[in-house]
Amino acid sequence: MDASRRAVTDGDGERFGDRFGGTCVGSAERIGGVCELLMKNDSKLTMGIVSAMGVAVKGEPKVTDCLINATEMASKRDETYAVELTKLEDKHVSTAKALLTDKAEYDAYIAAFNEELNDLRAMFKAIYIAGCSTDAFGDFVVGHGELWTARLCAATIRCKGGKAVWIDARDILVVTDSEDGGVDVDYSLSNANLDKWYDEHMQEGAVVMVTGFIARTPEGVPTTLKRNGSDYSATIFGALTQAKNITIWTDVDGVFSADPRRVKGAKCLSSISYNEAWELAYFGANVLHPRTTLPAMKYNIPVTLRNYFNQAAPGTSIGMTCSLPAGVEGNVGKFETRDMSGELVKGIATIDDVCLINVEGTGMVGVPGTANAVFKAVKEAGCNVVMISQASSEHSICFAVRSYEADAAVAALNKTFEKAIAAGRISRILPLKDCSILAIVGQNMCQTPGVSAMLFESLAQSAVNVVAIAQGASEYNITVVVAKKDINKALQAVHGRFYLSKTAISVGLVGPGLVGKTLLRQMKEQLETLQEEFAVELRVVAITGGRKMLLSDGAIDLNSWEDEYASGVQANMDDFTKHVLESEAPNQIIVDCSASDVVAGHYKEWLSNGLHVVTPNKKANSGPLAYYKELRSIQRNSYTHYFYEGTVGAGLPIIATLQSLRNSGDKVERIEGIFSGTLSYIFNTLEPGKKFSDIVAQAKEAGYTEPDPRDDLSGMDVARKVTILARECGLNIELSDVPIQSLVPEPLRDIESVDEFMKELPKYDGDILSKQEEAAAAGEVLCFVGVVDVKNGTGSVELRRYPADHPFAQLKGSDNIVSFTTKYYTSAGPLVVRGPGAGAEVTAGGVFGDILRVCAYLGAPS
């Protein structure tokens, strides 16, 4: 070993390894920038480890992908593989032209490049003719991208007046396949190779450009460190040279709490431990190759992940604040420092495509070696077990493999356990396809109670079913398997729970009529306060009417939604539902402001899918009893909320009062109330000397009635409210069980035209007048009321008389009033709720209140 180069002695000078990902070397301009960055470094040894060229502009060819594609195409006898080669040629020749200003450098680069490309052409031709390729062939081919960039960078530095040499890492790194599908480094052989290379090729003060990703086997066969492996190359070379610092340059500001492409509010972490980085990468955070941290950990070399495109950002430092994973030896001994200042959960990672395989059977209980046989069979089939969870009953062994390996694993298990299956000792080998893994990772979870409760609660609140669970003995991660269709929702929910101070909720609105529009306006006015004071972020992502629909990936701007909605697409309830369901928030609410029974028919589907429903629409709760019961039972048996305060008395707390009376153990005996704002107005205005028909006409004129006043006068609306309240009291009644005393005179019920009806109505004024006079003679007034008689199990809608000093007789304008007679609030002093019970503002206010109630249940501060 060359002591002057690598011995760790004080004053020996600093060595740095900088690794540049594909996007950092995606164009001539970027490669130029990378070279300048390296040239600025005046440490004793500067190494630049590079990936193959990625892309600077979306849609351009990525070099590694082209090489993989070409190999696949040739082996499938698809002659268009040649197109991929042309892309590679164009990309490298034009980049070299732009960078290599020295003719000799350019000529030498192109000569070497052409020679290698011609060799590849010949090889592809052979693959094409044979119609097959091998892994070794593929590994040899795919590594060319790195050769071409490393050589190009060295030449560029020289053209810029610097000193540079380059290393083909296949001359240095010796690796062997490891059991988990990765590769292990033979450090002593690699070290010896590096010494040799250094003696023969190193130039004093030169930047050393190194090919990332590639290596060779002990037999000298070219191989790779597997996809994304250039980070791993960097830390291996860092370890070989015992670098002072390794910087991994990529296209994000650092390691985030979740993939920033998928989770909007993901936070960039300032520091994480090697173990945390390792676990995150293992569970799918592809910002790092899973093995990247291992070599750095060996010598405690700090790794910094930085954004090449935002060099002002400090990046994430990855360092030693924890123990090494089992089996990894290093010179740092055991660390167990808990980073108390940090977050409980550092990051959340996902593997989207896995298959859960369950091996079940009573014959496994107490039989030693079954687990061993299971995993041996899987390993021999070349499949990598991502996660294991075993039931402690030993009744089943359950583990996850990547989806593409599932069939092979199941076939191998069926073969291995052929006899045990035939004998019934193993009942079945069951693959559960289309699953995903979600892992939460964080060293501080260790010995902190309650973390898993938070995880499972957040999943339950988002209606995500957990299929399997595993926790590492280190307690650095908790892993759950969920259905693939739920993974995005799960990721958002869990991230939101651990990371976001705000509860983000998507809202889909059905029926942007008068109430819907008012609600959107009220929400717009409150958005900021909600965010600041209650940490609730409401995002309206979809609005649909009967004909039009507006869907948006982000939040719809509530200042200008009407214009966008006007040019919306054709309404479609399935698309609307899917859009809300897949929107990027842990929780979703559908608000139905329509009066439609067709829309109400969707509640079951929505609630079953975990969508909360808030509505002032009476159709579901006053429709068929069985449907209402189904909805309530879904609500009761899940974390999904169904709130409908607006169905009775608009924003007045009538249902909430009733529910809290019942929940607190009181017994409701009777509910009586004036539930129709319209009829309230009519009877409050009806005084001696005034005609009923005139008042109806006035009310119609003023817009207090439905377009056809018979809809109010028929009492149907009040009957629906009575049905809703009766059911809320536990009565099993149908709307048709509620007798209604209609105020529409019998002969006028079938008249088609509203005008005709209005013209005929005065003929019947006498009916009401005589009732009114009778009441007045007894010192009473007429009120149109709904009654729920809980004791007798009935509901009714009728015109009743009340003493002039009764609260019902005191009502003003279009107010509603409801009195609850209960065990505690007896008839001597019933509980009374009174106030405006109709109109868009108060109805929308009631709906808004329900939306906030959902938020509170989901964890927003109250």
Residues that are catalytic: 721
Q: Which residues bind ligand ASP (CB under 6 A)?
A: 21-22, 51-52, 64, 145, 212-213, 227-230
Q: Which of 27, 149, 191, 228 binds ligand ADP (CB under 6 A)?
A: 228
Parallel, antiparallel or unpaired: strands 183-185 and 207-211: unpaired
Looking at the Cβ atoms of 234 and 500, the one nearer to ligand ASP is: 234
With binding defined as CB under 6 A, does residue 442 bind ligand ADP?
A: no
Q: Which of 159, 252, 357, 726 binds ligand ADP (CB under 6 A)?
A: 252
Q: Which of 256, 476, 576, 675 binds ligand ADP (CB under 6 A)?
A: 256
Select from Mg ion, ligand ADP, ligand ASP, none the partner in contact with residue 227, using the beta carbon and a kind-dependent cut-off of 5 to 8 Å. ligand ASP
CB of 234 to Mg ion, least distance (A): 11
Looking at the Cβ atoms of 65 and 706, the one nearer to ligand ASP is: 65
CB of 51 to ligand ASP, least distance (A): 3
With binding defined as CB under 6 A, does residue 286 bind ligand ADP?
A: yes
Select from ligand ASP, ligand ADP, Mg ion, none the partner in contact with residue 259, using the beta carbon and a kind-dependent cut-off of 5 to 8 Å. ligand ADP
CB atoms within 10 A of CB 574: 9
DSSP string, 809-849: GG--TTEEEEEEEESSS-TTS-EEEEEE--SHHHHHHHHHH
Are 530 and 536 contacting, i.e. CB atoms less than 8 angstroms apart? yes
How many residues in total does the chain contain?
Answer: 862
Distance CA 346, CA 258 (A): 9
Distance CA 280, CA 746 (A): 74
Select from ligand ASP, Mg ion, ligand ADP, none the partner in contact with residue 322, using the beta carbon and a kind-dependent cut-off of 5 to 8 Å. none
Pick out residues in 497-526 that bind ligand ADP (CB under 6 A).
none
Measuring CA to CA, which residue among 47, 56, 49 is closest to residue 6? Answer: 47
With binding defined as CB under 6 A, does residue 61 bind ligand ADP?
A: no
Residue that is written with structure tokens 């296209």 in the block: 251
With binding defined as CB under 6 A, does residue 21 bind ligand ADP?
A: yes
Residue that is written with structure tokens 């167990």 in the block: 336
Select from ligand ADP, ligand ASP, Mg ion, none the partner in contact with residue 52, using the beta carbon and a kind-dependent cut-off of 5 to 8 Å. ligand ASP
Pick out residues in 315-374 that bind ligand ADP (CB under 6 A).
347
Are 635 and 612 contacting, i.e. CB atoms less than 8 angstroms apart? no
Are 621 and 797 contacting, i.e. CB atoms less than 8 angstroms apart? no
CB of 55 to ligand ASP, least distance (A): 11
With binding defined as CB under 6 A, does residue 54 bind ligand ADP?
A: yes
Q: Which of 12, 251, 353, 475 binds ligand ADP (CB under 6 A)?
A: 251
Q: What is the DSSP letter of 740?
A: B
Distance CA 722, CA 724 (A): 5
Looking at the Cβ atoms of 291 and 539, the one nearer to ligand ASP is: 291
CB of 519 to ligand ASP, least distance (A): 49
Are 662 and 668 contacting, i.e. CB atoms less than 8 angstroms apart? yes
Rg (CA), the chain: 36
User: Alpha helices of 463-594 — where are they, by DSSP H?
Assistant: 487-499, 514-534, 561-566, 573-582
Looking at the Cβ atoms of 78 and 353, the one nearer to ligand ADP is: 353
Helices then strands, counting H and E runs in the chain, come out as 31, 30
Select from ligand ASP, ligand ADP, Mg ion, none the partner in contact with residue 23, using the beta carbon and a kind-dependent cut-off of 5 to 8 Å. ligand ADP
* H/E stretch holding 800: strand 794-803
Point out which span in 4-12, 17-25, 701-709, 847-855 binds ligand ADP (CB under 6 A): 17-25
DSSP strand E in 666-770: where? 668-674
Distance CA 159, CA 183 (A): 36
CB of 150 to ligand ASP, least distance (A): 12
Select from ligand ASP, Mg ion, ligand ADP, none the partner in contact with residue 229, using the beta carbon and a kind-dependent cut-off of 5 to 8 Å. ligand ASP
Classify burial at 460, counting beta carbons within 10 Å of its beta carbon; exposed 0-12, middle 13-18, buried 19 or more: middle
Select from Mg ion, ligand ADP, ligand ASP, none the partner in contact with residue 58, using the beta carbon and a kind-dependent cut-off of 5 to 8 Å. none
3-state secondary structure of 429: strand
Torsion of CA 503, 504, 510, 515, to 10 degrees: 60
With binding defined as CB under 6 A, does residue 213 bind ligand ADP?
A: no
Looking at the Cβ atoms of 133 and 228, the one nearer to Mg ion is: 228
CB of 26 to ligand ASP, least distance (A): 11
Parallel, antiparallel or unpaired: strands 503-510 and 536-544: parallel
Instruction: Quote the tokens at residue 405.
Output: 């390996």
CB-nearest residue to ligand ADP? 21
Q: Which positions touch ligand ADP (CB under 6 A)? A: 21-23, 51, 54, 228, 250-252, 255-256, 258-261, 285-287, 347
